[in-house]
Amino acid sequence: MAASSPIPKQEIIDQLNRILLFSVFSNSMILSGFLRFIVEETLEGRANSLKEYTIGTNVLAKKVGYDPQADASVRIHAGRLRRALFEYYSGPGLSDPVLISVPKGAYIPSFELISPSIKSASTQTQKFIFKPTLAVLPFHCLGENDLQNLADGLCDQICTEFTNFNELTVVSYYSSRKMASQGIDSKEAALLLDATYLITGSIQSNKNLIRIRVQLIQSGTDHQVWASSYEREKSEMGTFTIQDDIVKHVINQIGGSHGIIFREAAKASPIKHALDVKVYDAVFWYYYLLNDLNEETFKKGLAVMQNTVQLDPQYALGWAILGETYVAGFFYGYECDVLDPLEEGVKCGQRSLSIDPRCQHAYQTLGLAYLFQHRQKDCMTIIDQWIRLKSKATGIAGGLGFCLICAGEYERGYGLLSESIQVNPYYPWWFNAGLSIYHFQKNEFEDAIYWAEKMQRQSVIWDLILKAASYAEIKNLGTAKILTQELIQLIPDFWALSKHILGSFLQSDEMIDRLSVALKMADR
């Protein structure tokens, strides 16, 4: 149907707004801007001006005088737009009243009323999941030609490793490198690649050292939100040591639920509504809950995560984080609206892995759930399965290291947990609890107190338990008694419940007995 179709203008605008809510458009500045521009121009009677040059300068921010024959970016994005519209009308838009399409060979949209008789009786679930898009641009090499091989190896491996983070969309390094070879600057590259964030960097060397700088840039504002510098001996260039060490540090500083992308997003975006999934993807909510957990935020987060997986039943990460939310509800004693929060957490974790066997967070969810269920064999099995993935996600390593320590596998757990906090200092309070338990078991009571202090009362009772027991062991009974009295004020019948509380996730009877004896010493 021609663009001059007699469909009321407001109906077309309403349909445009419905389409722009679809995740493929809401996650893409280019696609949403492209569609909005050509629809609005057509409705304003300027359809004949919709040429490649006009779209390039107005939508893609091309410079005045650019040559569309030499730059195919408008044609490329027009193809993407047609595919996105097809995907929308094959799913959430299946029963919409107005069809908007862009016929091949032109950029003028077509508007057509869809007959009710051909509408499907059922519609697919609309998806609102926001996933930031990350692109790695080739690093600048200052000096020797040999550095280019190192630069390409670094960039390619960074891209590859980030694909293991379900919360991010990653542009292939081939696409980024090809664009850079055309002399396109970073701002234009971000637009063409639909990248929310760009990783850039430089490499230089002198006689003995190689210096590598890496930056993360938010493409919308062009602000540098993170940077790090690395120096290595030049003699290491012939090995993979430099590449592996730096890649591991970079991906764990930037990616994951504790990485800079989601820390910044959680700080910048205020919570508007309990079901505002468009604003708060699973990982945004997860990070927010970790840092401001109380019963009110827990209930909002649980509602968001339940709604998320209803909107997108194939969202593996959403199921994993919903599962961990149920586990957190069990631990803190919050109302979860289910009979057995731990079993519900297990079901969610298993559902996540059935969708995506490489979903990192699902292994942590299952590890914690099995731990609290005292299913030690299942807990060890799921941890071993994660280890076989050879993942570099040290945030997950820390969570599973905590599980190992609580299960009595102290040295294995300490190895994972200590490495995790060295790579990224932003981690949940219970990592400190795991380290405190480890040092208590080793009779290193001063260290146990140090890590318990770092819990900063977020656990309510566990910092008191570990500090009181440790102070008692070093014969500082005055301090130990004060801490024990605080504990009893919080839980008046603590002594009757102590074995149950200590055994809620500690699997070692020996550790439970040691803590119990130390606490009773403190109460004398």
Question: Quick check: 419 pLDDT over 90?
Answer: no
Residue 169: strand pairing partners: 133
Identify the pLDDT of residue 115: 65
Interval 38-60: pLDDT, tens: 999 999 999 999 999 999 899 98
Identify the pLDDT of residue 451: 95
Token digits of residue 67 = 């040559």
Instruction: Give the count of alpha carbons within 13 A of 189, CB side only.
Output: 27
CB neighbours of 461 closer than 8 A, spacing ≥ 6?
A: 487, 490, 491, 501
Identify the pLDDT of residue 519: 92
Buried b (16+ CB within 10 A) or exposed e, 294-329: eeebbbbbbbbbbbbbebbeebbbbbbbbbbbbbbb
Q: How confident is the model at residue 176 (pLDDT cuts 50, 70, 90)?
A: confident
CA 261 to chain centre: 8
Mean predicted confidence (pLDDT) in 106-121 = 70
Residue 217: strand pairing partners: 198, 224
Identify the pLDDT of residue 124: 38
Q: What percent of the chain has pLDDT over 90?
A: 40
d(CA 354, CA 284): 23
Q: Which of 29-38, 259-268, 322-331, 416-425 has the lowest mean pLDDT?
A: 259-268
Mean predicted confidence (pLDDT) in 159-165 = 85
Mean predicted confidence (pLDDT) in 482-505 = 90
Token digits of residue 163 = 């694909």
Q: Is 77 exposed, middle or buried (0-12, 13-18, 19+ CB in 10 A)?
A: buried
Mean predicted confidence (pLDDT) in 142-149 = 74
Instruction: Name the pTM for this structure.
Output: 0.71
Identify the pLDDT of residue 263: 74
Interval 257-272: pLDDT, tens: 678 887 776 655 444 3
Mean predicted confidence (pLDDT) in 342-352 = 97
**DSSP-based three-state secondary structure for 203:** strand
Q: How confident is the model at residue 290 (pLDDT cuts 50, 70, 90)?
A: low
Neighbours of 182 (CB within 10 A): 11
Question: Quick check: 1 pLDDT over 50?
Answer: no
Q: Which of 42-51, 104-113, 463-472 has the lowest mean pLDDT?
A: 104-113
Question: Quick check: 369 pLDDT over 90?
Answer: yes
Identify the helix (H) or strand (E) that includes residue 371: helix 360-372
Mean predicted confidence (pLDDT) in 270-288 = 49
Identify the pLDDT of residue 517: 93
Identify the pLDDT of residue 284: 66
Mean predicted confidence (pLDDT) in 188-197 = 76
Q: How confident is the model at residue 2 (pLDDT cuts 50, 70, 90)?
A: very low
Please report, as a single letter, which amino acid is at residue 277: V
Identify the pLDDT of residue 195: 81
Identify the pLDDT of residue 275: 36
Q: Residue 312 region, left (φ>0) first, then alpha (ψ -120 to 50), else beta?
A: beta
Identify the pLDDT of residue 128: 45
d(CA 19, CA 3): 18
Identify the pLDDT of residue 288: 66
Mean predicted confidence (pLDDT) in 141-167 = 82
Q: How confident is the model at residue 300 (pLDDT cuts 50, 70, 90)?
A: confident
Mean predicted confidence (pLDDT) in 372-397 = 91
Identify the pLDDT of residue 459: 55
Identify the pLDDT of residue 422: 85
Pinpoint the alpha helices (H) of 373-493.
376-388, 394-406, 410-423, 429-441, 445-453, 462-473, 477-490
Q: For all residues of the chain together, what is the average pLDDT?
A: 84
Please report, as a single letter, which amino acid is at residue 333: G
Identify the pLDDT of residue 144: 67
Mean predicted confidence (pLDDT) in 275-296 = 60
Identify the pLDDT of residue 118: 44
CA end-to-end span of the chain:
88
Q: How confident is the model at residue 279 (pLDDT cuts 50, 70, 90)?
A: very low
